[in-house]
Amino acid sequence: MSRKNERPTRRAGISRYDTAGGVRYIVYYRGADRRQHSKSGFRRILDAERFRDAQKTDARRGVWVDPVKSRARIDDYGARVVEIAAGTGKPSHARDIESAWRVHVAPKWGSMRLGDVTHTQVQAWVNSLVDGTAETARGRHESASVTLRAFGVLKSIFDAAVRDGMTARNPCDRCALPRKTRKPRTYLTPRQVIALADASGRYRALILTLGFCGLRIGEARALRVRNVDAEAGRLAIEKSMSRANGWKETEPKTWERRTVPVPAHVMRAIVSECQGKAAGDLVFTEPDGKPLAEPKRSGGWFGKAIAAAGVPSLTVHDLRHTAASIAISSHANVKAVQRMLGHKNASMTLDTYADLFSNDLDEVAADIDRRISDVLAERPSCEQSVSDRTESDSFSMTEKH
């Protein structure tokens, strides 16, 4: 809609009008949506021209954005994106992204408009989380994991905004991010796993299953009697269970669905847990029959068992790492370990347990050396004849010269 005192200029699509603060310019242009748009308030006609030309260029390149959409506030649009993302993953994943949104992203960016956020602002925010100067950090240096999770939520919001045509570019692209440092893991020996299991009372079979078969705690929690094949010595991993506003079973990712081999000693303990239960009943439960609560090393039955067994302090997830360690030290190949653990590919297994495989290389070399020694020990006469022939040839060559 044109203003009453608006007057055209010699520049196409640009008019001028008077305000109490002086002359201003307004640009009329047609967007990629084929609709008429306008932007006013330019103090200089040169700035109005630049804006007009930029709109034409963006439309021609296919990166034009509706200015009305780009003015959407991040708290409104972002909340919808986070809600959708939280509904597509595991409950634990939903908790993580909702927490990152509520604690770090919404307080910082919620009041801003999608089109106003710059790459420089995002990079400064990431840096402030790391060094503890961010308002939401409250003087605390956030870990790389917390920082990356918060950044990931913001980036996913702008990824969606780009797809929805609400902004042309993602200001999170090419930001410098902190690197995660791998925390030292605790690996138990088979003897220590058994000692921990023996100290765990009614949870003995659970500890043996986690420590020798490498299940995630959520997978063990969702294991049902029908998933146990005692004759074949296998467990079928088909579900995972975690708590988020109540217990929720979820389908694992394609590569996480698998059949896990079970040592005979462990299978006997599992079968004992299944006695008197129906096919659809959970194998491992709390005494009242409810799903397993998260075992804590700082208290409860798991913490007491650690102390009683005299083993190093560890998390329940360290038992999964322990199972991998035992399998690797038993000379299982990387593909077998990958299938046992439900990793997406062998490279993921190698990356996760690079320290174990590098240690195993020394044992492989030593084993190969022993085999070479065994072969050579069986052929002393052959080795001697080769040595004698070499010396003879050397002497003959010397004589000729």
Is residue 197 one of the residues assigned to a domain?
yes
Token pair of 88 as six digits: 């597509």
- Partners of 15 in the beta sheet? 8, 26
**Residues in Cβ contact with 103 at an 8 Å cutoff, skipping those fewer than 6 apart:** 136, 150
Within this chain, do residues 269 and 311 fall inside the same structural domain, yes or no?
A: yes
Q: Are 296 and 277 in contact (CB under 8 A)?
A: no
Task: Assess whether 153 and 290 both reside in one domain.
Answer: no
Strands 247-250 and 240-243: antiparallel
pLDDT at 64: 82
What's the angle, vertex CA 105, arms to CA 103 and CA 109, rounded to 5? 130
Residues 6+ apart with CB under 8 A from 312: 186, 188, 192
Same domain, 308 and 216: yes
Half-sphere exposure (CA, 13 Å, Cβ side) for 343? 20
Cα–Cα dist 89/83, whole Å: 11
Please tell me which residue, 395 or 349, carries the higher pLDDT value.
Answer: 349
| 196 domain residue, yes or no | yes
Q: Give tens-digit pLDDT for 86-127.
A: 877 677 788 889 999 999 999 999 999 998 999 999 999 999
Are 249 and 387 in the same domain?
no
Q: Please give the structure tokens belonging to residue 80.
A: 């919808």
- Residue 2, Cβ neighbours under 10 Å: how many? 12
Q: Nearest Cα to 228, choosing from 153, 309, 284?
A: 284
pLDDT range class, residue 35, cuts 50, 70, 90 = confident
CA distances from 351 to 22, 58, 177, 229, 343 (A): 65, 43, 20, 31, 11
- Do 331 and 240 share a structural domain? yes
Note whether residue 168 is domain-resident: no
Q: How confident is the model at residue 368 (pLDDT cuts 50, 70, 90)?
A: confident
Q: Are residues 154 and 106 in the same domain?
A: yes
Number of domains in the chain: 4
Kindly indicate the confidence band of residue 380, based on its pLDDT and cuts at 50, 70 and 90: low
The answer on 195 and 317 residing in a single domain is yes
* 169: its two tokens: 């570019």
d(CA 1, CA 174): 40
CATH of the domain at 313: 1.10.443.10
Q: Supply the range of the domain harboring residue 28.
A: 7-64
Q: Which residue has the higher pLDDT, 267 or 378?
A: 267
Tokens standing for 297?
């090393």
Residue 134 binned pLDDT confidence (cut-offs 50, 70, 90): confident
Same domain for 263 and 116: no
**Whole-prediction pTM value?**
0.68
Calpha distance 82→103 (Å, rounded): 13
One-letter amino acid at 40 equals S
**Same domain as 291, residue 248:** yes
Alpha helices in 343-379 (DSSP H): 346-352, 354-377
